[in-house]
Amino acid sequence: MSIVIRPAVVSDAVAVARLEAELMGPDAWSESAVRDELTGPLRCAIVADHVSDRGRARLVGCAVLLVVGDTADLQRIVVARSHQRRGIAGRLLGRVLEEVGDEVRRVLLEVRADNADGVGFYLRNGFTEIARRTAYYADGADAIVMQRPLGPGAQYAGG
């Protein structure tokens, strides 16, 4: 068994939409929204495949970045429950950030304040809270806005 990290292709949309439904509840992207995210302008999408010893691949993770000027927005990072806490999201994040140009100086994201896995993962990976948006989500949950500097002078050296 191995985990292979690679750029997403449009035919990954069905599997990514399945992950969305498993993990994102009411915030899950539909299959057509996933297709737009995987192939849209300014997007960089990376996926993780679990490849069995027999060579059969199953998509178990995805990260999507939107790059505008010197800022990248992490739109999504998801890993199947069966494969969490094995470093796969960390690898997806590392790879998607490798794909952006030197002009990108920071990564921003919004995460639900009640998403302990997401907040824990981002704190572990060099993001810090820079703002909070009260009742940002439809169910009244707050959003935490987090940032990680990139490029020369960025303090974070891990991944």
Binding site for ligand COA (CB under 6 A): 23, 76-79, 84-90, 111, 115-118, 120-121, 124
Look at residue 124 and give its three-state secondary structure: helix
Q: 124 or 132, CB closer to ligand COA?
A: 124
8 A C-beta contact, residue 93 and residue 77: yes
Q: How far is the CB of 80 from ligand COA (least distance, A)?
A: 8
Q: How far is the CB of 8 from ligand COA (least distance, A)?
A: 16
Q: 101 or 138, CB closer to ligand COA?
A: 138
Q: 4 or 103, CB closer to ligand COA?
A: 4
Question: Which amino acid appears at position 157 of this protein?
Answer: A
Q: How far is the CB of 61 from ligand COA (least distance, A)?
A: 7
Q: 101 or 140, CB closer to ligand COA?
A: 140
3-state secondary structure 3-31: EEEEECCHHHHHHHHHHHHHHCHHHCCCH
* Closest residue to bound ligand COA by CB: 120
Q: What H or E segment, with its residue span, contains residue 101?
A: none
Write out the DSSP string of 21-79. HHHSGGGPPPHHHHHHHHHSTTEEEEEEEEE-TT--EEEEEEEEEEEETTEEEEEEEEE
Q: How far is the CB of 122 from ligand COA (least distance, A)?
A: 8
